[in-house]
Amino acid sequence: MPPMSAKQFARLARIVHEDTGIYLAETKRGLLSARINRRLRALRLADYSAYCDMLDQPDSAEERRALLVAITTNVTAFFREAHHFDFLAQQVLPPLLAKARSGGRVRLWSAACSSGEEAYSIAMTVLEAIPDAARHDIRILATDIDPDMVLKARAGRYSEERLHGLSSARRAKFFTAAPDGLAIRPEVSELLRFGELNLHKSWPFSGRFDVIFCRNVVIYFDVPMRQNLWGRFASVLNPEGYLMIGHSERIDGPAANRFRAVGTTAYKVAQDRADQSN
Ligand SMILES: C[S@@+](CC[C@H](N)C(=O)[O-])C[C@H]1O[C@@H](n2cnc3c(N)ncnc32)[C@H](O)[C@@H]1O
């Protein structure tokens, strides 16, 4: 395969940005070509320009999805950045439990769930705090742009090596044996709803969220897209709602004053501003 030229890289980076909001710096040229070489071989295309031409065709939706699958970084783990789950258990869930027990609606959102570990970690934390959660109106929405990841997440099956970070008590309580590792128990899955969702497109929700986890994804976005997202999160959170972000991320831009830090990379919507844009 001839090396990817700067022009070809710029064309591909523009397409990726258009579709996903992911910003690829020129330093990512090698990474991008390594990730899409397999697509070029599978499609028997001579070079990256031919691939760009294909992506620019009106009927390119399927290949654009394949490109997206190839370029997304899906690294995740159960109870990754564990302090968020401690915070959830100690600070966030107690008042939500009271709300749920009095018939209220409780919604949590894993907004870039990858293969599901983050969403299931939220569900396990909820079940530890509220064992009868399924009898109340408590749901966890788990979404990702990558259709392959959403399928994996929904399947809820994990090989032994993906389970590091999980205590033996949690393994026993929330998983059952599966031929290729462990499978999430139905009483955990029933709290979850999975779907494909591009954070930069419209969000088909009618209600608001009590908690949003959007961790380790905005690092891939450019500044305007990232800052726009903070404002959108503030607008779909309940007045007492929380936003958890990744360890190397920060809330910046015009929407920053709509949040206040309440823990390590944990934020609460500033109460008097929650309804600003509604
Ligand atoms: C590194 S993983 C983070 C997973 C999890 N949140 C965590 O912290 O462990 C980043 C995820 O963001 C997803 N993603 C990238 N761009 C996205 C977009 N525009 N909308 C929704 N998800 C996106 C990727 O597909 C990937 O699964």
User: What is the pLDDT at residue 165?
Assistant: 80
Q: In what order do the strands lie in the sheet with 209-214?
A: 192-196, 137-144, 105-110, 209-214, 237-245, 266-269, 259-263
Domain locations along the chain: 6-71, 83-273
Enumerate the β-bridge partners of residue 137: 105
User: What is the pLDDT at residue 277?
Assistant: 44
Helix (H) or strand (E) holding 62: helix 61-71
Rounded Cα distance between 253 and 230, Å, is 8
Ligand 1 atom 3, closest CA: 216
User: What is the pLDDT at residue 1?
Assistant: 75
1: nearest Cα among 61, 57, 44: 44
Q: If you measure from the C-alpha of residue 144 to the centroid of ligand 1, how many angstroms do you get, rounded to a whole number? A: 6
Q: Which of 144, 146, 154, 258 is catalytic?
A: 144
6-71 belongs to which CATH class?
mainly alpha
Q: If you measure from the C-alpha of residue 98 to the centroid of ligand 1, how many angstroms do you get, rounded to a whole number? A: 31
Rounded Cα distance between 68 and 16, Å, is 7
Neighbours of 48 (CB within 10 A): 23
Establish whether residue 149 lines the binding site of ligand 1, counting it when its CB lies within 6 angstroms of any ligand atom: yes
**Is 144 among the catalytic positions?**
yes
Q: If you measure from the C-alpha of residue 99 to the centroid of ligand 1, how many angstroms do you get, rounded to a whole number? A: 30
The set of residues, in sequence order, having a beta carbon less than 8 Å from that of 7 and lying 6+ positions away, is none
Q: Which of 35, 105, 157, 162 is catalytic?
A: 35
Low-confidence ranges of the chain (pLDDT < 70): 271-278
- Determine the CATH number of domain 83-273: 3.40.50.150
